[in-house]
Structure 1
Amino acid sequence: MGGSGSLNSLVTAAAAELMAATAANSAEISQRVLANLVDALGQDFGFLRHNDHTIRATVLIAEFPPRNADPDPIAVVYFADADSVFATAEHLKEPAVVRPRPENADYQQTIEEGTGFGSVSLAAVPLLSGEVTTGVLAFGKFGDREWVTDELDALQAIATLFAQLQARIAADTQVRWLAEHDEMTGLLNRRALIAQLGERLAQGMPGPVSIVFLEVERLRAINDVFGQDAGNRFLVTFSNVLRDGADFPAAIARFGGDEFVVAPHAPMDARDIFAWAQELHRHLRTQADIRSDLFGRAASIGVATGVPGKDSASMLLSRADLATQSAKNARGVTVVAYTPQMAAKNAIRDEIERRLEEPDAANDLVLHYLPEIDLRTGEVLGTEALMRWQHSALGLLMPDSFIDVAESMPLAEKLGRLVIRAACAEFAQWQAEGLVRNAVLRVNVSPVQLIAEGVVERIAATLSEFGIEAGALCLEITERVVVADIEATRKTLTDLKDIGVQVAVDDFGTGYSAFDYLTSLPIDALKIDRRFIRDLGRDSKNLAVVRSILGLAEAFGLDVVAEGVETPGDAQALLALGCKRAQGFLFSKPLPGAQMGLLFARRFVSTDFLND
């Protein structure tokens, strides 16, 4: 090699090449630079290797001339198993020169076997990033060769250029990775998933394209109780379990905070994706049993399919999301496949939400009333106010159609206040007309309504405004309300009791076992859920449940009302057990206010069928 001018030109030429390199062409350019250096320095070979300190190995990036070995025994060399030359590269900080060793003369054999460098003069310079050795640039010649300081300095300058290229590519790769992945779990992110689905749903692509949409259970509870770090660990664990459960090539993404999507790369029809989703759920449940400290119900799962050229990524994801919400809302169901009916129902929800946001939405509320009957005499003992919504386009809607929408906005507390006020106004009108004597008005209240600030004062003011005795109003709560916030519930119920309002537990026996709370909460009545009344005369299990509830009520001095009585046999069985109050279609369907007033005026319904 010539003097310093030639060496400077060599460095300049290498810099020009490497400065223009990108991740896509870096291997090609690196090999070209190596070829120029091998020729200019009069060497027989050269190579560039990067250190992977996570696995403690040196990885071949480029070499000249290429050996084209397949498989290449020195493509990846672990430092723990490497010979002295490769092992030195792990922490090399200064240029190093290896001269020939007479006792090992056959270089070709040793280089092919990856065991050493034999009779070679080798100059190696480190690629450095701060104090970390990120790789090595080396050149060798068969036989002996002396390396002068200027040459080693030039090689070190070129190695610095290679190190800068390595760092730039790593940074660019990290930026691209972060643009497409969730940093915490390492899964694809929302944007990358949508892009991939968009490509797969393009016209002419193979289909159908299927996805599994998962919503993780318990994340909010974990965050609230144990903190954000615990919630993050939970998500990482869940992500790893999800990867293990996907036993075929698939795009796996964290779609939102607690939402994940699995999209198989290969076409999969609705039946196959549903079957696999069930297998995935079983896998998650197995892990839930193993990792009981982290998992609960694991996840609600929805599946959907799309047709390339017809459906978009957003359409497919929306379908899967609707199916997941159906799974979440269906007790005991964990995997649900999308159906067109779900979209129709969701359109109704959107229309309801739009209307609920309008200031005059309360004008659409309508109350119907379900009479409460004395099974012994047929006397009308009271009535339960049932909320309906008379929608201009959708007709008369039942609470199931809009209550959950109202709670999500939230409007449930406002609707509850309107119902109590409207029911009390109508009840007061019946009283003024002399239609009501010693009857009870029952109104359902939601969890959010019961713990709202000032609820007791508002109810007291409403009773005073309409001149209704507090004992005539009975607020019905479900067991879900009882356990939603036990301390706030206890305080509210105690305050209601202090002003004379009655409290009943609705749907008793179906939810969270409120037996534990009967001793500490001021409850006046239990309402037996309709599922225990059905076929009461023939179902021994239901008979045992109802008998137990009646015994419990007697022990605590509580009234009991049976819901959903639809057959004379059920009514007769209730009477035989000692239950005296009931509601159900056997006696009357829910009635508009005017008809309920007329029924109060009649005072009795026929119970002749009980004597048949």
Structure 2
Amino acid sequence: MTKSRSNGADNDQTNELQQADDVSLLRDAYLKLQQRHTALFKLNQLSQECAELSSFYAQVHQVIKSIMIAENFYIVMYDQTLQTLEFVYHQDEEDDAPQGLIPFTSFRGSMTSYVIESRNALLATPTMINEMVADGVLNNIGAAGMDWLGVPLIHDGFVIGVMVVQSYNEHTRYSEQDKELLIYTAQHVVSALLRLQDTEQLQRAVTSRTTELMEQIREREKAELLQESLYRISELTNRVGVEIDDFYAQVHNIIGQLINAENFFIAKYESESDTIDFAYYVDQNSRNTAEDFLPQKSSDLFTALVVRRKETCLLSYDDMYELYRQGETKKPQKETNSWLGVPLIADDEVIGVLVVQSYQDGIVFQQQDAELLNFVSHHVTTALKRRENAEYERRSHEMLERQVKLRTVALEEEIRQRKQVEKMLKHSASHDALTSLPNRTVFLDLLNRAIAALKRRPEKEFAVLFLDLDRFKMVNDSLGHYAGDILLKTVAKELKVIVRASDTVARIGGDEFVILIEDIDNKKEVYEIAQRITSALAQPFTIEGQSVFIGTSVGLLFSDRRYDSAETMLRDADTAMYHAKDGGKGRYEEFDASMHQKIEEELALETDIRKAIEESEFTPYFQPIVKLRDKSIIGFEALARWHNDKRGLVMPNDFIPLAEETGLVVDIDLQILRKSCRQLKAWQKSGLCHKHYVSCNLFGNHFYSPTLPDEISTILAEEGLEPHHLRIELTERILLEENDLVLANMKALKQLGIKLLLDDFGTGYSSLSYLHRLPLDVVKIDRSFITDAHKRSSNRAIIKTIVDLATNLQMATVSEGIECIEEAQLLNSMGCMFGQGYYFAKPMPSDALAELLKNPIS
């Protein structure tokens, strides 16, 4: 009995100890769970409160340290596209972190790369590390340590980085529980990290855009002042009643607004007598008298130096003294601090010199002053040479001045709008900045809710209307972006008036609007709304004092339980809209399943285009470019044609729009360019032509590629064609964004010896501000101005203005679309030297053009 009681007491004591252990385990588990929740709460707090990523990483480290031993800790980000690593945070008692972006290949064989490539967490003990090294899995492990624990940071199924803790002593070891905890924590680090990255990216975009806008404003102000000055000089030429002395004084006044011209003179040069006549002068040096500005032989004057060199001379006093020492000029006056002279050149002969000089130490002319005065000198030269024809010039310049004033008004409004950009950026992200309508994101959210409501309550029927303005681009191009914005805002107000108060009108981009009509009783009321919209937008709108007609095409889609997403419904409504547009515009069309047929046809066409590119089916047709004076052929424009076994001969209008939309036109252009170069070289070898050139069109996206000059240079080298036999045509639209890469590519092509042509000039933006700054050689006058020009005085005035402008900028002109002898004769009489069109020859295949070269145009 005594032993039995003793055994019972022992069992009770064992049970009590077991219960105590269970309580301890539960307490430990609870504490770990509490630590985990505290850590996650801190991580979520960090994404909301942390101001920048650098401090975020350090605070993440502190959170990790609160749940495990993590004295040695780092986060490395991985860019899969660029194949680079970046140690964004690193705390380690043994290793130093590499700085900046590191090629991923340099870390191959490391435990970090193992985690990235395997996409799995790794808890590596010394034994495991030795085994992995022996198996060839690792060969780049850094400083020797104890345990290494790394987990991948994964977003959308892709590894974007690695988070690591490691130990260098046996007192700090990591367990599978630590690995699971770090994996769990990593998921929340990724979420917080991405939110912070999005915030920083938005802040950088706002800062960058604001800086860019301010720089554009300053550049535009400079361009406006330069344009205003040039046209004031041009205006002087047209004012017949202005005395010559007053003319010179006004030129001085205009130049003085651009650079410091307190000491200024205009000298005219007579080559036969080698005499310089100081036609106008203003000088503050008391040592100079009227006798110093009397007509005299050029001899050793500094003005004569400009005449002899036929180039701008920018001289300091030391430069002037060195010229005197070398015997080229007379001794300079000690008071002269800086001297700038530019030649006035007409027909390759110097007819005079413009000079500004400074007697003050604080005023020194720079190279940019020389460039500016040199540019102005061309206009002064033109003014001096053409005063006898002032009446005609007056009419031309008045028209140009009106264009400048219209553009100035547009620029002033654009500047005003851009000053409001910062304020507009703060506007709710849910609304379109221009019209204050809900934007695409909000509309899709509302439409998804309507889809979900329909599944719960079938009676909650709704409809979607997709609108596209039929002639918005025409208004935008002809009246300017400001007028286009006014039109969009007017249309937005009109739509809100037409629909019911419960309906939603949104702008999803460009000239596209969508309307969500909910709680409809029958389809008739939706048809009525669509009809009211098409009728209202068919009426003229008054924009900037002008009546404009736009019209709209509407795609109509009713709710259906088969739809699961707003994007799908929007796609089908968009398809219906395009059917309405194809059916004649200004109407609405209800979506039906047959409309997918057109989409399938476009997809089939895209497939055929891709195959045609691979099989080199695109071929150039050539249209001759002739001298208008004698109809002699000087070159050819290469135009793309497509010969397809299934489709036959496909004309550009049938495949170029889709090729441009898909970006395939880039490959087509290069294929046409290569074949054109090859054909021209073949003609040269056969003796059919020697000095002729081929002109190829390039889509605007080419000029955003930094490899464009190398690609064209390679084609020329492989086909054996000299660069001066190739010309590249580009449209105005690519020039409007003033992209540095576009300008660099243009200059690189010029350096190769390739001439650049501005195609379809006059139909688009036609800004004078870029025409004189870009390395262009030829302006092609659009066919819309050529047609019936002999019958329309307005067309003739525009053509004459373009020809004069190109001549002043030392550019050639080519007229497109000449279809009759009257047009050809008129253009020749107006100074346009070159032309092309059906009157001379249609685009033709290479064999037909070879026959034409054997039997030239008569």
Q: What TM-score results when the alignment is normalised by the length of structure 2?
A: 0.39
Q: Is the 8 A contact 1:187 1:254 kept in 2?
A: no
User: Structure 1 pair 535/300, CA: closer, same or farther in 2 (3 Å)?
Assistant: closer
Look up the SS of the partner of 2:668 in the other structure: helix
- Please state how far the C-alpha of 1:372 moved relative to its aligned partner: 1.0
Tell me if structure 2 keeps the 8 A contact 1:470–1:499.
yes
Relative contact order, higher structure (CA 8 A, sep 6+): 1
Structure 1's 360 and 467: CA in aligned 2 closer, same or farther, altered over 3 A?
closer
Q: Which residue of 1 aligns with 2:554?
A: 303
Deviation at 1:511, TM superposition (A): 0.7
Identity of counterpart residues, as a percentage? 26
- Whether 2:513 is the aligned partner of 1:513: answer no
Q: Alpha carbons of 1:574 and 1:193: their partners in 2 closer, same or farther (altered >3 Å)?
A: farther
Distance 1:540 1:343 in 2: 49
Q: Given residue 554 of structure 2, which amino acid in structure 1 is its aligned partner? A: V
Query: What amino acid is aligned across from residue 189 of structure 1 in structure 2?
Result: L
Match of 1:383 in 2: 636
Q: Is the 8 A contact 2:731 2:760 kept in 1?
A: yes
- Residue in 2 that maps onto 1:111: none
Instruction: Tell me the amino acid that sits aligned with residue 419 of structure 1.
Output: I
State the alpha-carbon separation in 2 of the partners of residues 345 and 531 from structure 1: 32
1:245 aligns with 497
User: Scaled by the length of structure 1, what TM-score is found?
Assistant: 0.53
- 1:276 maps to 532
Which deviations, in whole Å up to 9, do the C-alpha atoms of 1:253-300 show, x marking residues without a partner? 8797886334483434998555422467599x99x99xxxxxxx9x99
Per the TM alignment, residue 587 of structure 1 is displaced from its structure 2 partner at its CA by 1.4
2:813 is the counterpart of 1:560: yes
Change (3 A) 1:195 1:390: farther
Contact residue 190 and residue 253 of structure 1 kept, 8 A: no
Question: In 1, Cα distance between the equivalents of 2:820 and 2:440?
Answer: 58
For residues 555 and 501 of structure 1, do their structure 2 counterparts lie closer, same or farther at Cα, with a shift above 3 Å needed?
A: same
1:397-412 equivalences under 5 Å are 397-412=650-665
Instruction: Tell me if structure 1 keeps the 8 A contact 2:464–2:514.
Output: no
- Aligned partner of 1:572 in structure 2 is 825
CA RMSD, 1 decimal? 4.8
Letter in 2 for 1:260: V
| Alpha carbons of structure 1 residues 270 and 566: separation in structure 2 relative to 1, 3 Å | farther
Residue number in structure 1 paired with 2:349: none
- Give the secondary-structure state (helix, strand or coil) at the position aligned to 1:591: coil
Q: CA deviation at 1:308?
A: 11
Post-superposition offset of 1:454: 1.4
Aligned-pair distance for 1:425? 0.9
Q: Would the alpha carbon gap of residues 307 and 393 (structure 1) be closer, same or farther in structure 2, given more than 3 Å must change?
A: farther
Distance 1:586 1:261 in 2: 50
Contact 2:778-2:811 within 8 A present in 1 as well = yes
Q: What residue number does 2:670 align with?
A: 417
Contact 2:759 2:780 in 1 (8 A): yes
- Equivalent positions of 1:132-171 (< 5 A) are none
How far the C-alpha of 1:438 sits from its partner, in A, is: 1.0
Residue equivalent to 1:188: 446
Deviation, structure 1 residue 445: 0.6
- 1:551 is the counterpart of 2:807: no
Could you tell me how far 1:553 is from its partner in structure 2? 1.2
- The structure where helix makes up a greater share of residues is 2
Instruction: Name structure 1 gaps, 5 residues minimum.
Output: 1-180, 218-236, 290-296, 607-612
Tell me the alpha carbon deviations over residues 168-193 of structure 1, each in whole angstroms, 9 at most, x when there is no partner: xxxxxxxxxxxxx9984696315735
User: 1:39-118 to 2 correspondence within 5 Å?
Assistant: none
SS in 2 for 1:538: coil
**Aligned-partner Cα distance in 1 for 2:444–2:494:** 12
Map of 1:365 onto structure 2: 618
Distance verdict in 2 for CA 1:421–1:485, change over 3 Å: farther
Deviation at 1:249, TM superposition (A): 7.3
Corresponding residue to 2:515 among 261, 264, 278 = 261
**What SS class does the counterpart of residue 488 from structure 1 fall into?**
helix
What is the aligned partner in structure 1 of residue 706 from structure 2? 453
Q: Secondary structure at the match of 2:607?
A: helix
Larger mean CA deviation between 583-592 and 336-345 belongs to 336-345
Structure 2 letter corresponding to 1:605: I
The reply on whether 1:595 has 2:822 as its aligned counterpart is: no
Aligned to 1:458, what secondary structure does the other structure show?
Answer: helix
- Would you say how many aligned residue pairs link Structure 1 and Structure 2? 388
Contact 1:320–1:338 (CA under 8 A) maintained in structure 2: no
The alignment status of 1:351 with 2:607, answered yes or no, reads no
1:301 and 1:327 in contact (8 A); partners too: no
Q: Is the 8 A contact 2:465 2:557 kept in 1?
A: no
CA 319–591 in structure 1, closer or farther in 2 if over 3 Å, else same: farther
Name the structure 1 match of 2:286.
none
- Offset at residue 537 of structure 1 (A): 0.5
Consecutive unaligned residues in structure 2, runs of 5 or more: 1-438, 471-488
- Listed as ranges, the matches of 1:474-513 within 5 Å are 474-513=727-766
Q: Secondary structure at the match of 1:396?
A: strand
Query: What is the alpha-carbon distance in structure 1 between the residues aligned to residue 581 and residue 700 of structure 2?
Result: 19
Q: Deviations over 1:20-79 (max 9, x none)?
A: xxxxxxxxxxxxxxxxxxxxxxxxxxxxxxxxxxxxxxxxxxxxxxxxxxxxxxxxxxxx
- For residues 342 and 459 of structure 1, the distance between their equivalents in structure 2, rounded to whole angstroms, comes to 42
Question: What is the Cα deviation at residue 481 of structure 1?
Answer: 1.8
1:554-608 CA-to-partner distances (Å, cap 9, x unmatched) read: 1111111110111222222212212231111111111011112222232x213xx
CA deviations 1:68-125 (Å, max 9, x no partner) are: xxxxxxxxxxxxxxxxxxxxxxxxxxxxxxxxxxxxxxxxxxxxxxxxxxxxxxxxxx
Whether the aligned pair in 2 keeps the contact of 1:303 and 1:337 (CA below 8 Å) is yes
1:440 positional shift: 1.6
> Are the structure 2 counterparts of residues 537 and 216 from structure 1 closer, same or farther at C-alpha, using a change threshold of 3 Å?
closer
Question: How far apart in 2 are the matches of 1:312 and 1:319?
Answer: 10
Task: Give the conservation status (yes or no) of the 8 Å contact 2:693–2:725.
Answer: yes
* CA displacement at 1:475 relative to structure 2: 0.1
Q: Distance in 1 between matches of 2:490 and 2:800?
A: 45
Secondary structure of 1:349's counterpart equals helix
The residue type equivalent to 1:321 in the other structure is D
Name the CA distance, whole Å, in 1 between partners of 2:801 and 2:590: 41
**Secondary structure in structure 1 of the residue aligned to 2:733:** helix
Q: Given that residues 349 and 401 in structure 1 are in contact (C-alpha distance below 8 angstroms), is that contact kept between their aligned partners in structure 2? A: no
- Quote the offset at 1:387 in angstroms: 0.8
Q: Secondary structure at the match of 2:616?
A: helix
Cα offset for 1:536?
A: 0.5
